[in-house]
């Protein structure tokens, strides 16, 4: 209903603002490997898409998942396994993404029947089970040693041993994933999804099925998280238990809140800020956890909409 009541002038301004954010983000990502290390730039792409996937579920559906590392990590392991067995990079990444989607079906079916903290705890429980499986299934996952020295065969003349080449290949994959998220949010499904988030009873009264929308949003979010996990494996050439650890789920929550929920651009910016701050602190031999925690607290207190959300709110007021 809110969208129907907006004036044409306001709608045009919002479209202009979104176009400006898109162009700015695109230009920044194009030159990013020339500004920082290409491997760090690729990390920003992978974590940025992961945060966008999480925002689809949390920001636009109102569902706080503490178990998204399950989809990121399962895809990372499957991608590594397929690459180690000689599969082409696109095939391995597709296999990892589809694994995340398949894993999400039973988890979504059981978890969306709950709400609030119960939903969060169910997703966390499933993620912990997968983490235990990755630790014990040493023949496939390598256990505590992980999978190392993963081959990345060339594709159409592209030499993936070059970190810059890997970055621009992943930039194309990131653009595809971001486009899916953007179109999902701007589609009639996305509008109905937000209506369910705002009031399930009102959405149900006009004929929407809240459970169906939550289930579908969960699957899309998990699929994009899996695509991000496959990018991470491709970029680093190693996989460890860290990808399925509960801290990974916590980090993507922090990145999304830092950048700003319900913005799509915000989670990417948040991921970049967290990773850049971590890199600077590590280089300076400073306590990463303490400083990052203080920055997060300050953002929550003074920029409750996140960095991008606050900027957008300020521009609307102007």
In whole angstroms, what is the distance from residue 305 CA to residue 260 CA? 5
pLDDT at 11 over 80: no
Average pLDDT over residues 39-66: 94
Question: What local confidence, expressed as pLDDT, does residue 7 receive?
Answer: 52
pLDDT digits (tens, 9 = 90+) for 177-194: 999 999 999 999 998 889
Question: What local confidence, expressed as pLDDT, does residue 318 receive?
Answer: 67
- Look-up: residue for tokens 């999978």? 147
Question: What local confidence, expressed as pLDDT, does residue 5 receive?
Answer: 44
CA angle 176, 198, 20 (to 5 degrees): 40
| Max mean pLDDT range (6-10, 34-38, 308-312) | 34-38
Cα-based distances in Å from 251 to 20, 46, 288, 295 = 28, 13, 13, 13
- Overall pTM > 0.75: yes
What are the start-end ranges of the E strands in 195-285? none
Q: Is 208 helix (H, G, I), strand (E, B) or coil?
A: coil
In whole angstroms, what is the distance from residue 16 CA to residue 23 CA? 11
**pLDDT class for 146, splitting at 50, 70, 90?**
confident
- Please list, in sequence order, all residues whose beta carbon lies within 8 angstroms of the beta carbon of residue 114, skipping any fewer than 6 positions away: 122
- Please list, in sequence order, all residues whose beta carbon lies within 8 angstroms of the beta carbon of residue 31, skipping any fewer than 6 positions away: none
Query: The tokens of 302 are what?
Result: 């003074």
DSSP state of 201: H
Cα-based distances in Å from 165 to 35, 150, 152, 243, 258 = 15, 17, 12, 24, 29
- Look-up: residue for tokens 């020339």? 34
- Look-up: residue for tokens 């296999």? 95
Average pLDDT over residues 237-245: 91
Average pLDDT, the chain: 88
In whole angstroms, what is the distance from residue 78 CA to residue 21 CA? 34
DSSP state of 239: B
């Amino acid at each position: 209903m809110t969208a129907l009541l907006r004036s044409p002038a306001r709608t045009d301004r919002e479209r202009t603002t979104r176009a400006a954010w898109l162009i700015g983000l695109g230009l920044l990502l194009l030159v990013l490997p020339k500004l920082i290390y290409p491997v760090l730039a690729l990390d920003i792409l992978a974590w940025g898409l992961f945060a966008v996937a999480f925002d689809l579920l949390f920001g636009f559906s109102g569902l706080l998942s503490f178990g998204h590392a399950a989809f990121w990590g399962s895809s990372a392991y499957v991608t590594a396994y397929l690459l180690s067995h000689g599969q082409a990079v696109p095939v391995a990444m597709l296999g990892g993404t589809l694994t995340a989607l398949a894993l999400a079906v039973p988890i979504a079916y059981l978890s969306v029947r709950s709400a609030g903290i119960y939903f969060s705890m169910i997703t966390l429980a499933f993620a912990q089970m997968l983490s235990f499986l990755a630790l014990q299934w040493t023949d496939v996952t390598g256990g505590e040693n992980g999978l190392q020295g993963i081959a990345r065969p060339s594709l159409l003349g592209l030499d993936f041993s070059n970190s810059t080449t890997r970055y621009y290949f992943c930039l194309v994959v990131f653009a595809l994933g971001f486009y899916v998220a953007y179109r999902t949010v701007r589609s009639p499904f996305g509008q109905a999804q937000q209506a369910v988030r705002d009031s399930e009873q009102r959405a149900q009264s006009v004929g929407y099925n809240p459970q169906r929308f939550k289930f579908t949003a969960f699957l899309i979010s998990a699929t994009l998280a899996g695509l991000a996990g496959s990018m991470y494996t491709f970029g680093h050439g190693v996989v460890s238990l860290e990808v399925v650890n509960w801290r990974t789920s916590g980090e993507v929550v922090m990145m999304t809140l830092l950048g700003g929920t319900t913005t799509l651009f915000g989670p990417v910016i948040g991921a970049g800020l967290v990773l850049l701050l971590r890199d600077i602190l590590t280089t300076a031999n400073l306590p990463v956890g303490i400083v990052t925690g203080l920055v997060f607290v300050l953002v929550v207190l003074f920029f409750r909409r996140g960095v991008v959300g606050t900027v957008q709110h300020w521009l609307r007021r102007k």
